[in-house]
Structure 1
Amino acid sequence: MTASRDRVRAAVDAAFRDEWGQVVATLIGLTGDWDLAEDCAQDAIAAALATWPRDGVPRHPGAWLTTAARNRATDRLRRDAAGAAKLRQLAVLARDPDEPPSGEIPDERLRLIFTCCHPALPFPARVALTLRTLAGLSTAEIARAFLTAEPTMAQRLVRAKRKIAEAGIPYRVPPAGLLPRRLAAVLAVLYLIFNRGYDEEGTGRALTAEAIRLARLLVRLMPEEPEPRGLLALMLLHEARRATRVDDGVLVTLENQDRSRWDRGLIAEGVATLDRALATRRVGPYQVQAAIAACHATAPDAADTDWPQIAILYGELARLAPSPVVDLNRAVAVAMADGIPAGLALVDELAASGRLDGYHLLPATRADLLRRDGRAAEARAAYEEALRLAPTEAERRYLTGRLEEL
């Protein structure tokens, strides 16, 4: 049976998005070699592009890719005498390529996350390594997420893999007593994966779905910990609004989104998940962010948004997880709650500090507040600065539209 090139390409792209992390995690678990695992996973993708047009797309593409990658690893290990013991493992764990993977979310990916997030690794390396191995992001994509040069990020990934090998970091979910220490890094990884997918249309949905699945798994693994529930609630509440964020390629601000199209099922689940987390009375930053998102999601109309409550929540978030981006968001909430001049004063203070130099949302926020305050000329200059810095086409189109309105 043959398949068209377009259908094969679509199937391979889907398999890459859905199965990359599982394939790489399985091979790392079998061989302990991170570079070998990634190389063989890439070889399996290439093999799919070569053979699926002739043989047809398999019933279970992920299982096919895992088997192809395992076979490639076997060939490479066979050339290395030191690989004999690993080959025995591969033989024991071999599986038919059409057999569906067992379990809703195989444990290999969870082991991979906690290994990447080992405290022996610097925090940025933990996040970057997991994004590379679990989500399949390229080094360039990760560098953009970190606002870092690509060569710098490449070296960071190399050093992280070397550290894992040299320090003998175990490939496992840590014992219960060690879980809390790793939790902050794991949550940061999942949220970055979610945000990466949330900022992309189409293919990004696979990343957000992966992040939500893994957040659900963490909640089951750590039922007494409130922050995994807080993160899950935050993701669900954001995902509920996803369909309304962009209209014909133009970013739509929260106040202008069509609330009738928001997913009420996800909102209800997000609020219920948040309530369970808050019931522990151990509030963390993800719970506070979810509470802010819930204020927006449950308001029947933009005019009904409880801005004073949101300003208070941003103040609490600034205490728990201080950052200039949190301060910028708090400034917006203060402007909406206490008046535009109060918010503008905070934005100007933040701009003077230099902590957000080059961040497009600083001039974009200032421009919006100036526009609301009737200061059109100053708003235009700020919008033009934001347009120069905006990283996505949807944002550039939105800012261009604001300039045209002025």
Structure 2
Amino acid sequence: MLIFNKNKVKRKVATLMLAAIGTVTIFSQTSFALNAQSNANFLFRGVQVLDDDEVVVYLDKGTSSITKDMFKIYEGIGTGGTPISITGISSYSTPYNLSVSGYAPGSSYILTAASGTFDEKEAYTIEASSTVRAGNGLTLGDALQRKNPVISFVRPDSSSDYGTGNVNMWTFMDSQNNGNIARDGGLYISLSKPASNASAVLSGLKLYKNTGSGYTEVTYDNPSSPTTTTDVFQPVKSNQDDFFYIPLSIAGNGTGAQKNLLSNTAYRLDIPEIPLQGGGEITNSLDPNGITSIYFTTMNGIGPTKMNSAPTASVTGSSVDLSWTATSDLGTSPNIVGAAATGYNVYHSTDKYFGFTKVNSSAITGTSYSAGSYASGTHYFRITPIANSYEGGYSNDVVVTIP
């Protein structure tokens, strides 16, 4: 995340130069992508403020269920500001915030707060629970190491003036380790205010892979006429010019056209200098062209099969015992798109959607676990699958009441 309230925003070296981790091993790109077979990852695709008490959240797929409690809103940039009460959620009439042929319309929802909540030229932040689940069973956290996606926005005035401050950029890397990145997630950046040079951002957003002798730019595919020979799809943007990403999945063109990043490979994402509407810019003072570079390394192999079912709980006094169904490979060899779990973790929270912490100290190799004793009240437990050293998203929850 980038937080500054200055007309020119410069990233610090520690944020800019994220070192790629591990030895680079080059694998061939397969035409059968990990996000095939209804396995495409789920993305929080931007926001749009409507008025002083309503903001739209865009998701790139339909959801299996949605409630207002799956989201949080804060004053200011970041999740440390004063929480804002969300009073309701409803479907929005325009689910599509992209004007690009080939992409799924997704879904959109209006989050409603009290009248007068969102002031003009002020910043706010929305945090979505990583447990939000798409219709295909994957959660928002599956490709984000179970981290909650966060997006900040500024409400403009009636003249579409966003003000000079509140300059911020979130990226897919925020809160994630820069090693072990999912191979089939979206590589995105989200701006607190619209870019004033959106077309230049699209042309300047570039992805490079380390071929062993240096970084080489990847090849890009046109989503309206996809092929099976390129690395990723062309960068796209939201209609609001504040969300940009390099997709790995599209809709309606067959599983063979979907993409995934190479296994255990170092990548570099270059973000061009971005002037923002109202003033301020995203830039890197250490680069002559203001380019911000993010370095990351992908996971080694195939990620775990999504875990849709909830564990079963039994309670004895204040003690909780859990059991669950083992996952299996998704797909048929050699076209495996999800790996059977070799281990599991157990998570607990007193909130259904936020604040989950790991209970076990080391990965559980079986399908049952004594989760310990808990205080009187309501408790929620979720399971995560592990395969090839990558931990997948949360399962559905089981609710336990301790008398």
Please tell me the TM-score bracket, short chain as reference: under 0.3
Q: Which has a greater percent of strand?
A: 2
Given the two structures, how large is their TM-score scaled by the length of structure 2?
0.24
Which structure has the greater CA radius of gyration?
Answer: 1
Given the two structures, how large is their TM-score scaled by the length of structure 1?
0.24
Q: Which has a greater percent of helix?
A: 1
Highest RCO, 1 vs 2 (Cα 8 Å, sep ≥ 6): 2
